[in-house]
Chains A and B, each alone.
Chain A
Amino acid sequence: MSPNASYDVRNKYRCSIVVAVAGNPNVGKSTLFNVLTSEIAHVANWPGVTVERKEGVKSFGDKKICFVDLPGTYGITSSSIEEIIAREYIISGEPDVILVLVDSTAPERTLYLPIQILELTPKVVIALTKVDLMHSLGIHIHIDKLESKLGVPVIPVSAIKGIGIKELLQALVEVAEGKKGRKEPLRINYGGLEPFINEVMRIINDSKALKQYPIRWAAIRLLEGDERLEFLLEKHGEVDKLKKIRELREAIEKSIGKSPEELAIAARFNFVDSISKEVIIRVEKTTFMQTLEKIFQHSILGPAVSLILLFMAFLLAFAINTGFPLNIIFSVLGLEELASIIESYSLSSLLGEVFTYLSNIIYDVLTPNIPPWLTSLICDGIIPGVGAILSFLPLIAMIMFFLALLEDSGIAPRLAVSFNNLFTKFGLTGRALYPLIIGLGCNVPAVMASRTAIEDKERVQIAFSAPFIQCQARLVVILAFISAFFKSVLERTIVIISIYTAGVLIYLVTSLIIRRLLFKTKESPEFIIELPPIHKPNAKVVWWITWDYTKHFLKKAGLIIFTLSIVIWFMLNYGPSGQVDDITSSYAFMMGKAIAPLLAPFNLPDQTAWKIGFTLFQGFIAKEAIVEGVVLLSGEGVDVLEALRSLNLNPIQAYSLLLFMALYVPCLATVAVMYAELRNVKLTILSVIYMVTIAYVISLSTYIFLSYLASLIGW
C-alpha cells in the first residue's frame, strides 16, 4: 500500500518552512516535538494506514514552521510500513528540511539513521537529544568535529530542560533556506560493492519508475533488495531492469560470499564507527542510577521489585478512585461501615454525587418550563452519560500517569523483559503484564494499556482479550452471588478463584488464537527491546504522555459512551407505546425477554429467565447494574440477597450464570475504548460476538457438566 505523498501541510497551516522529524523509537522524539510546537495542531493517521501522524506549528521570528512527525524508525529501508512512510515523505518534496534526532546517551548506534537519511537528501539538521542525561552518564561528544565531518548543523538539546531549542529552530530555518548545510547528499564508500553500484546506476539511468529518487541512492537500495523499489519497477513494466539487478545480487553473493544487504549495512556502520571513534568519549561513572540498574537486572530481584512497584502504583490509583480493593477487603472482613466510608470518599463516588446533585438541580429548574421527556433526557440520559465519561477520567489519568512514570524511568521495559518468557507461550510479550494487572481493577484503562505493546498485532491481541479479566465491578456481582447462593467458605473460595482463573486463562488463550488465526503467525512477537538507562522520570514528559492518553480516551471513547448512554436511556424509558413509566413495558425489557429463550438450556424457573435476560442487558451498561437490575425487578424495599434468592436458582445454575455474566461482554465504556484502540468497527463487533459466544459455550457446558456430575452423585 502506497502512502499518498501529497499532504499539503504548507497550505493547511500557511507555513513558510516544513520540517519532517525523524528518529529512532525511544530517542525522545515525542518530547522534543511537544516542545518545538506551540500546540499539537493535528493528530491523525498517515493516509491509508493505521500509523499515527502528528503535525504541529511554531512561530519563530517572522516565520511559521510546520513540523510533521515521522514514525520512529531505525532505518529507511522498506522492511516496515513505518520506514516506507518516513522515506516516502522525505522525498515527497514537501519537507524543506529533515530534523533527525540522535540520542546522546546512545550516539554510536543512533547516528546510523541520520547517515542513511543523508544519503537520500542533503537538507538535514541533527539534534542531539537528552544532553542533560549525557553528561551524567560520562559521555562527551565533540560537536564541532561531528558537524564538520557530516557537513550539517548538530545542535545539542534537552527538550525537558529547554536547552538548545532556539538554536535548533535557527539552524532549521538556515538549512531550509539554503544558507547552511550540505549541497549534495552524503556519499559513503561501499568498498567491494562500488563497481556493482555503478553498474546498477547505469541500468536504472533511464528508469521512469524510479525517477523521483536520487540515482545513487536507488542503486544501492536495489542492490540491497528494496521491496518497494522492486515493486515500482514491476509496476512500470521495467522487469528486465529488475532481472538484471537480481542477477547482480546473486553474483555478489557468489563472489564475495555475503549478501549485498549485509555488506551495505556494514559499510554504513563502518562509516559511523569511524566518526564515533573520533568524536565520542566515554568516561566510567558509577552513579546511584547504575546501582539501581544492577538491581533491576538481577534475575530475581528485578522482577520482584518491579512487580511490587507496579502493584503499589495501581493499587494507589484504584484506591483513590474507587476505594478498591480496600472497600472489598473491609466488607469481607465484616467492617461494612469502614468499607462504605472508603467508597463514599473515593473520587468516583464524589464525582457521582456531584452529578446526581447537578441533575437534581437542573431537574427542578427545567421541570416547569420544558416538556417532561426533554427534562428526562437531560437529567436521566445526558447528565449521567457525561458523568459516566468524567467519572472514568481521573482513574484513566492516574493509571496512565503511573504507566508513564514506569515508561520514562526505564523500569517498564525491564519489567517486560522479566515476564517475557511467560507471555511468549501465548503469542504475547512481557508488555501484556500491565493490561492483566490493571484489568483486575477496571477493564477500561486495561484496554488502553494495550498501547504499551510495540507491535501493532500485539496491541490488537491485548485489546481483544483484556475484557476477560475480572474487573472490580464484576467482583461486586460475584460477591453478591456467592453470598446469596453459596454457604460454605470452601464453596465460595472455589467459585471466586475458578472465575478469576478462567478470566486470565481466556485472556491468554484468546491472544494466542487471535495471533494464530487472525494474523496467521506461529511465532510470538519478536522480542527486541532497548533498555535505556534508568533515570529519574521527568515531570514534563510524564505529564505529556499522561495527557496524550487521556485526550485520546476523551476523544475516541468519550463520544461513544455518551451516545450509548442516550440510546440506553431511550430504551429504558420508551416502549412500543411511547414513553413509559413502568420499566416492564420498555424496549430494554423487551430485549431482555428476547434473550430469555437462549437461557432455556439452563432450565430456569418460570419468572427467572426474563429477569436474567433484562439484567444481562443492564450488565452491558455497567457490571454493578446486574445486581441493581435484579433488585429493581423484585420490587420496592427488597435487599440484594433476598432479590437474588427470589430468582430461585440452584447452586449449579447460579454458578453457570455467574460464569456467563463474568465473561459475556464488558461494560459499554470498555467496548468504547476497544473501538478506540482497534480503530475498526468490524473487529470491535467481532470481539463482542466472540465474547458472548465463548461465555455462552463455557457457561452452558459447565452447567451441563456439573448437572451431570450432580446426577451421578445423586444430588
Chain B
Amino acid sequence: MRSVPLSMIPKGSKAVVVSILGGRGLMSRLMQMGLTPGTEVEVIENRAGPILIRVRGTVIALGRGVASKIIVSPLYR
C-alpha cells in the first residue's frame, strides 16, 4: 500500500489518512478537524486550486500546500 500526499488523489477516489507532515500546530489543527490517522476521506474536487474533501460527513477545502502535507493511502475498489 503506497502512501502519497492527499493532493495526488484524483476526484471521486477515497483514501485513508496515514500521517500529517509539518509543524505541530498544523497537525493539531487538521487532526482536530477530524483528519486523524485511519480516517477515511473522499476527494470531491481536485483541479487547480484548493482540494475539496469530505471527511466525517462534512466538506472541507484545503489549500494545496496543506493538502500536500497530509499523507494518505489510496483505497481501491
A299 touches B47 (CB 8 A): yes
Write out the residue numbers on chain A whose beta carbons fall within 8 Å of the beta carbon of B57: 106-109, 282
Chain A, Cβ-Cβ closest to B19:
A262
- B58, A106: Cβ atoms under 8 Å? yes
Contacts A109-B56, A528-B60 known; 15 new A-B pairs at CB < 8 A: A109-B55, A109-B57, A225-B24, A261-B24, A262-B20, A262-B27, A266-B36, A269-B34, A299-B47, A299-B48, A413-B61, A429-B63, A527-B61, A528-B62, A530-B33
Contact A529 B61 (CB under 8 A): yes
CB distance from A656 to the nearest CB of B (A): 39
Q: Cβ of B49 and Cβ of A106 under 8 Å apart?
A: no
- The answer to whether A261 and B28 have CB atoms under 8 Å apart is yes
Chain A nearest CB, measured from B73 CB (Å): 15
Once the chains are docked, how many angstroms separate the CA of A438 from the CA of B47? 28
> Which candidate, A73-81, A90-98, A546-554, is the interface stretch facing chain B?
A73-81
Binary B-proximity of A44-68 (CB < 8 A = 1, otherwise 0): 0000000000000000000000000
- Residues of chain B contacted by A299 (CB below 8 angstroms): 45, 47-49
B50 A417 Cβ-Cβ under 8 A: yes
Residue of B with least CB distance to A303: B49
16 A-B pairs whose Cβ atoms sit less than 8 Å apart in the complex: A79-B25, A79-B28, A79-B29, A106-B57, A106-B58, A109-B33, A258-B37, A262-B19, A266-B31, A269-B36, A299-B49, A417-B52, A420-B49, A421-B49, A429-B63, A530-B59
A265 within 8 Å of B (CB atoms): yes
Residues of A within 8 A of B32 (CB): 74-75, 77, 112, 265
Query: Which B residues touch A269, using CB under 8 A?
Result: 31, 34, 36, 39
Q: Does A418 contact B (CB under 8 A)?
A: yes
Identity of the chain A residue whose Cβ is nearest the Cβ of B54 in the assembled complex: A531
State the interface size on chain A (CB cutoff 8 A).
38
- Answer whether A79 and B59 are a contact pair too, CB < 8 Å, given A266-B38, A528-B66: no
B60 / chain A contacts, CB cutoff of 8 Å: 528-531
Which single residue of chain B is at the shortest CB-CB distance from A262? B37
State the main secondary structure of chain A at its contact with B: mixed
CB-CB < 8 A to B12: which residues of A? none
- How far apart are the CA atoms of A79 and B24 in the complex, in Å? 8
In the bound complex, do residue A109 and residue B27 qualify as a contact, i.e. CB atoms below 8 Å apart?
no
In the assembled complex, the Cα of A75 lies from the Cα of B66 at a distance in Å of: 19
Q: A75: which B residues are within 8 A, CB to CB?
A: 28, 32
Kindly identify, within residues 515 to 567 of chain A, every residue whose CB is under 8 Å from any CB belonging to chain B. Answer: 523-524, 526-533
A526 touches B61 (CB 8 A): no
Name B63's contact: one of A74, A105, A420 (CB within 8 Å). Answer: A420
Please report the C-alpha to C-alpha distance between residue A524 and residue B55 in the assembled complex, in whole angstroms: 24
A417:B61 contact, CB within 8 angstroms: yes
- Please state if B48 and A421 are interface contacts (CB–CB under 8 Å): yes
* Chain A residues positioned under 8 Å from B27 (CB to CB): 261-262
A297 CB–B CB distance under 8 Å: yes
Q: Tell me which residues across on chain A come within 8 A of B45, comparing CB atoms.
A: 297, 299
Interface status of B8 (Cβ within 8 A of chain A): no
> Of residues 397 to 420 in A, which have CB atoms within 8 Å of B's CB atoms?
413, 417-418, 420
How many cross-chain pairs have Cβ atoms below 8 Å apart between A and B?
Answer: 115
In the complex the two chains form, is A112's CB within 8 Å of B61's CB?
no
User: What is the CA–CA distance of A149 and B72 in the complex, to the nearest angstrom?
Assistant: 32
Determine how close the nearest CB of chain B comes to the CB of A568; give it in whole angstroms: 45
CB within 8 Å for A526 and B36 given contacts A106-B57, A421-B49: no
Q: Mark A490-528, 1 if CB is under 8 A from B, else 0.
A: 000000000000000000000000000000000110111
**Which interface class (under 10, 10 to 19, 20 to 34, 35 or more) fits B?**
35 or more
Asked whether any CB of chain A lies closer than 8 Å to the CB of B4, the reply is: no
Select A531's contact among B29, B30, B52, beta carbons within 8 Å. B52
Measured CB to CB, the nearest residue on chain B to A293 is: B59
Could you tell me which A residues sit within 8 Å of B by CB distance?
74-75, 77, 79-80, 105-109, 112, 225, 258, 261-262, 265-266, 269, 282, 297, 299, 413, 417-418, 420-421, 424, 429, 523-524, 526-533
A528 in contact with B63 (CB, 8 Å): yes
Closest residue on chain B to residue A422 by CB atoms: B49
Which residues on A sit within 8 Å (CB–CB) of B61?
Answer: 413, 417, 420, 527-531
Contact A531 B50 (CB under 8 A): no
CB A402 to nearest CB in B, in angstroms, measures: 22
Bound together, the chains give a CA A485 to CA B66 distance in angstroms of 51
Is A527 within 8 A of B62, CB to CB? yes
Is residue B75 within 8 Å, beta carbon to beta carbon, of the partner chain?
Answer: no
Please name all residues of chain B whose beta carbon is closer than 8 Å to the beta carbon of A417 when the two chains form the complex: 49-50, 52, 61
Looking at the assembled complex, report how far the CB atom of B35 sits from the nearest CB atom of chain A, in whole angstroms: 10
A418 to B34, Cβ gap below 8 A? Answer: no
Distance of A696 Cα from B36 Cα, bound (Å): 53
Closest 8 CB pairs of A and B: A527-B63, A74-B32, A108-B56, A106-B58, A75-B32, A531-B59, A109-B34, A265-B31
A112 to B59 Cα, complex, angstroms? 17
Most-contacted residue by chain B among A75, A262, A527, A529 (CB, 10 A): A527
A526 and B27 alpha carbons, distance in the complex (Å):
12
A661 to chain B, nearest CB (A): 37
Are A524 and B65 CB-contacts (below 8 A) given A106-B58, A107-B57?
yes
Q: Nearest Cβ distance between residue B10 and chain A, in whole angstroms?
A: 14
Q: Report the separation of the CA atoms of residues A77 and B59 in the bound assembly, to the nearest whole angstrom.
A: 24
Q: Tell me, in angstroms, the Cα distance from A527 to B63 when the chains sit together.
A: 5
Return chain A residues, CB-CB under 8 Å to B49: 299, 417-418, 420-421
User: Which A residues touch B50, using CB under 8 A?
Assistant: 417, 420-421, 527, 529
* With known contacts A266-B38, A297-B52, A526–B26 Cβ distance under 8 A: yes
B66 touches A74 (CB 8 A): no
Chain B proximity of A452: nearest CB distance (Å): 15
CB of B30 to closest CB in A, whole Å: 7
Inter-chain contacts of B48 with A (CB < 8 A): 299, 421
Most A C-beta atoms less than 10 A away, residue of B25, B26, B38, B61: B61
Residues on A with C-beta less than 8 A from B66 are 526-528
Q: Which residues of B contact A265 (CB under 8 A)?
A: 28, 31-32, 36
Per the 8 Å Cβ criterion, residues 2-21 of B in contact with A are 19-20
Q: How far is the CA of A105 from the CA of B63 in the complex (A)?
A: 23
A295 to B: closest C-beta gap in Å: 13
Contact partners of A420 in chain B: CB under 8 A: 49-50, 61, 63
Q: Which residues of chain A come closer than 8 Å to B31, judged between CB atoms? A: 261-262, 265-266, 269
In the bound complex, CA of A417 to CA of B66 (Å): 14
Residues of B within 8 A of A418 (CB): 49
Closest to B26 in A: A526
Min CB–CB distance B13 → chain A (angstroms): 16
Question: Among B31, B39, B48, B60, which residue has the most Cβ atoms of chain A within 10 A?
Answer: B31
Known: A421-B48, A528-B30. A106 touches B56 (CB 8 A): yes
Q: Return chain A residues, CB-CB under 8 Å to B28.
A: 75, 77, 79, 261, 265
